[in-house]
């Protein structure tokens, strides 16, 4: 089954086994830069830098943190080669769900789709946790006003729900502004350090020496945090149905996101360490205020005003990231819903707004789920940062890394059976093979280091249950797919098969 190219959001595109209209998202709503901004926003540059780099320097691979980003960028670029090769043939709002369904079959596709959906669903409340922490802390430090964190959580839930209701073009405009400001302030610090000839030790190249990515207190932890900083870049594929000329835009946007974010991460983290001086950088990152790793060079080379602005942009940056994840989760829920994984879902989360062409019901469901998760963690007495953010981020990251690995092998299988004209020894064989094995290695890094990554929550039941939760969802997906195959073969036949007609297999 395919969704007709250019059809109105409410137009019928065929039936999903029960004479039910299949809705599509609003076409031509977003261009290349919009897709790039949406994907980069999920990576949240200012949150990745200020939240991850100090921890990497103090407890990971020390001054080799920038080199970790260099290694991760190369690995993810290789993964993206295979990913984008498939994106030229399959355009699916379900992204991984659709890709894996075509490559490895509907059963593995549904299991992977449920895992990817679960990952994005839990990422939003995770980011709401860190957003609320940044907001309450900054407001208290700079104005003396105390506002409970849950008030900011409610605010972010409302903003995210509103953005998704009115369509991707509205979310895009807000994210462009938020993302541009956070990138600008980080770039100002990094460029200022570079223009001053480096820090107290001048320019040092140890931080970008790839060998140093594998040194330090815990190189595995540092490398994991580097990969963690990219989570969400693959979301480019899920905007294919809403983009202009997706066969060209999605591959370009994916590579721009991987390489652009990578170069930025390497440069900013390198200049932060250089601006402090290598020894002072480790000392700052290990202090009671690890953000000094960024605040010190910003104050010295840009000015105190920039430190104040950076603190506020940490709030807006986490807001942008959470909004992007909300959009991702809503689209995965919508993709599963419109194919009738459960028949009742077609009439609810599988519908689009008649005017805005947005997955409005799926967005509201995601808002409710996020609110319930936040309420549960609040009731359990978890801190919004060290509890909610860290635990849910690790849980979602494990799920999405497993799906990325499976997707690489799906690319291999897909091109072995289809499109001989597009087969290539590197793009459709070597790159996805290496990328898949590398993603599995990152999963191992996560499992072996998640206790340290969780910090004060290392003994949490949620953390200890993380691998089992991921495994349970995957097994549940396989079991339900087999149930559909036996009891509802017409529903099984549709799994992962709703794609734009122009990219439907011939």
Q: In the chain, how many domains are there? A: 1
From residue 238, alpha-carbon distances to 28, 137, 259, 330 in Å are: 14, 34, 19, 10
Check: CB of residue 391 under 8 Å from CB of residue 100. Answer: no
Tokens of 26: 């609003």
Closest-CA residue to 207 (of 270, 283, 268, 265): 270
* Each residue's pLDDT tens digit, 148-200: 999 999 999 998 888 777 766 666 677 778 888 889 999 999 999 999 998 89
Phi, psi of 199 (to 5 degrees): -95, -150
Residue 500, pLDDT > 50, answer no
**Average pLDDT over the chain, rounded to an integer:** 86
Q: Is the dihedral of CA 472, 478, 480, 482 positive or negative?
A: negative
Q: Is residue 381 part of a domain?
A: yes
Q: Is 280 within 8 Å of 76 (Cβ atoms)?
A: no
Q: Is residue 19 part of a domain?
A: no
Whether the predicted pLDDT of 307 surpasses 90: yes
* 270 within domain boundaries: yes
Least confident of 13-22, 52-61, 212-221: 13-22
What local confidence, expressed as pLDDT, does residue 167 receive?
63
What is the structure's pLDDT at 503? 37
Distance separating alpha carbons of residues 274 and 216, to the nearest angstrom = 17
Nearest CA among 402, 328, 265 for reference residue 127: 328
Sequence-distant contacts of 296-303: CB under 8 A, at least 24 apart = 297/189, 297/192, 297/193, 297/199, 297/271, 297/272, 298/185, 298/188, 298/189, 300/275, 301/189, 301/192, 301/193, 301/196, 301/275, 302/188, 302/189, 302/192
Tokens of 261: 């974010």
- Would you place residue 408 in the very low, low, confident or very high pLDDT band (cuts 50, 70, 90)? very high
Phi/psi at 115 (5° precision): -65, -45
Tell whether the model's pLDDT for residue 465 goes beyond 90: yes
pLDDT per position as a tens digit, 82-103 = 888 888 888 766 678 888 999 9
Angle at 436 between CA 433 and CA 441, to 5 degrees: 125
**Cα 298 from Cα 311, distance rounded (Å):** 11
Residue 487's SS3 state is helix
| Predicted TM-score (pTM) of this structure | 0.86
Are the CB atoms for 314 and 132 separated by under 8 Å? no
Residue 506 lies in a domain: no
- How far separated are the first and last CA of the chain, in Å rounded? 12
Establish if 67 belongs to a structural domain.
yes
For the ranges 104-108, 331-335, 460-464, which has the lowest average pLDDT?
A: 331-335
Residue tagged 């890394």 (tokens): 401
pLDDT band, very low/low/confident/very high, at 331 (cuts 50, 70, 90): confident
Q: What is residue 498's predicted lDDT score, i.e. its pLDDT? A: 62
Residue 470 near residue 402 (C-beta atoms within 8 A): yes
**Token pair for 91:** 């355009």
> Is-contact 242 27, C-beta < 8 A?
yes
Helix, strand or coil, per DSSP, at residue 293: helix
- Residue 367 belongs to domain with CATH number: 1.20.1740.10
Decide which of 505 and 206 is more confident: 206
- Residue 21, classed as helix, strand or coil, is strand
Residue 179 lies in a domain: yes
Range of the domain at 288: 32-496
- Tell me what pLDDT residue 501 has: 45
Instruction: Average the pLDDT over 243-253 and give the result.
Output: 83
What is the percentage of the chain residues whose pLDDT exceeds 70?
89
Comparing 259 with 324, the larger pLDDT belongs to 259
Q: 450, exposed or middle or buried, with CB in 10 Å at 0-12, 13-18, 19+?
A: buried
Report percent pLDDT > 90 for the chain: 51
E-strand stretches of 223-357: none
CB within 8 Å of 491: residues ≥ 6 apart: 16, 17, 339, 340, 341, 343, 484
The answer to the question of residue 284 being in a domain is: yes
Quick check: 60 and 221 in contact, CB under 8 A? Answer: yes
For residues 428 and 200, give the distance between their C-alpha atoms in angstroms, rounded to a whole number. 47
Residue 14 included in any domain? no
Radius of gyration of the chain (CA): 22
Strand-pair partners of 499: 2
Q: Which residues pair with 380 in a beta bridge?
A: none
| Tens-place pLDDT, residues 228-238 | 888 878 778 77
Q: How many residues does the chain have?
A: 506
Question: What would the pLDDT profile of 114-144 be if each residue is shown by its tens digit?
Answer: 999 999 999 999 999 999 999 999 999 889 9
Return the pLDDT at 88. 84
Instruction: Show Cβ contacts of residue 471 under 8 Å, excluding neighbours closer than 6 positions.
Output: none
Per-residue pLDDT tens over the stretch 4-18: 333 334 433 333 344
Q: How confident is the model at residue 414 (pLDDT cuts 50, 70, 90)?
A: very high
DSSP state of 126: H
DSSP sequence for 36-68:
HHHHHHHH-HHHHHHHHHHHHHHHSSGGGHHHH
Model pLDDT, residue 455: 84
Instruction: Write the CA distances from 312 to 142, 146, 219, 442, 449, integer angstroms.
Output: 10, 16, 31, 32, 31
């Amino acid at each position: 089954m395919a969704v007709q190219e250019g059809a109105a959001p409410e137009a019928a595109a065929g039936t999903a086994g029960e004479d039910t209209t299949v809705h599509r998202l609003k076409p031509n709503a977003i261009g290349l830069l919009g897709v790039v901004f949406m994907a980069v926003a999920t990576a949240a540059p200012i949150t990745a830098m200020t939240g991850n780099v100090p921890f990497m320097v103090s407890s990971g691979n020390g001054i080799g943190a920038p080199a970790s980003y260099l290694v991760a960028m190369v690995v993810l670029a290789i993964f993206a080669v295979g990913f984008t090769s498939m994106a030229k043939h399959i355009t699916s709002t379900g992204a991984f769900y659709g890709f894996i369904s075509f490559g490895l079959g509907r059963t593995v596709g549904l299991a992977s789709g449920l895992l990817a959906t679960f990952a994005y669903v839990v990422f939003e409340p995770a980011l709401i946790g860190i957003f609320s922490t940044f907001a309450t802390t900054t407001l208290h430090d700079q104005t003396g006003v105390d506002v409970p964190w849950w008030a900011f959580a409610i605010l972010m839930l409302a903003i995210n729900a509103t953005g998704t209701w009115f369509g991707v073009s509205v979310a895009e405009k807000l994210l462009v502004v938020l993302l541009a400001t956070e990138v600008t302030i980080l770039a100002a610090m990094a460029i200022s350090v570079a223009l001053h000839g480096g820090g107290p030790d001048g320019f040092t190249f140890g931080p970008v020496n790839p060998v140093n990515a594998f040194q330090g207190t815990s190189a595995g932890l540092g490398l994991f945090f580097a990969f963690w900083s990219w989570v969400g870049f693959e979301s480019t594929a899920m905007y294919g149905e809403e983009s202009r000329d997706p066969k060209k835009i999605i591959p370009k946007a994916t590579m721009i996101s991987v390489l652009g974010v990578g170069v930025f991460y390497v440069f900013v983290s390198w200049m932060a360490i250089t601006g402090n001086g290598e020894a002072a950088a480790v000392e700052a990152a290990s202090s009671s205020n690890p953000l000094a790793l960024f605040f010190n060079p910003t104050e010295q080379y840009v000015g105190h005003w920039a430190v104040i602005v950076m603190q506020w942009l940490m709030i807006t940056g986490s807001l942008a990231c959470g909004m992007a994840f909300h959009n991702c989760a809503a689209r995965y829920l919508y993709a599963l819903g419109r194919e009738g994984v459960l028949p009742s879902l077609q009439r609810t989360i599988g519908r689009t707004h008649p005017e805005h062409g947005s997955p409005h019901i799926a967005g509201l469901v995601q808002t409710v789920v996020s609110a319930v998760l936040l309420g549960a963690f609040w009731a359990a007495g978890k801190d919004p940062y060290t509890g909610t953010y860290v635990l849910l981020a690790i849980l979602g990251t494990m799920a999405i890394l497993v799906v990325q690995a499976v997707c690489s092998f799906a690319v291999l299988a897909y091109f072995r059976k289809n499109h001989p004209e597009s087969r290539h020894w590197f793009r459709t064989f070597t790159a996805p093979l290496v990328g898949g094995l590398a993603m599995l290695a990152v999963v191992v890094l996560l499992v072996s280091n998640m206790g340290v990554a969780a910090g004060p929550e290392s003994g949490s039941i949620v953390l200890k249950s993380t691998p089992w939760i991921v495994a349970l969802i995957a097994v549940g997906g396989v079991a339900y797919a087999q149930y559909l195959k036996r009891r509802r073969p017409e529903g099984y036949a549709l799994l992962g098969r709703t794609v734009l007609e122009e990219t439907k297999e011939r």
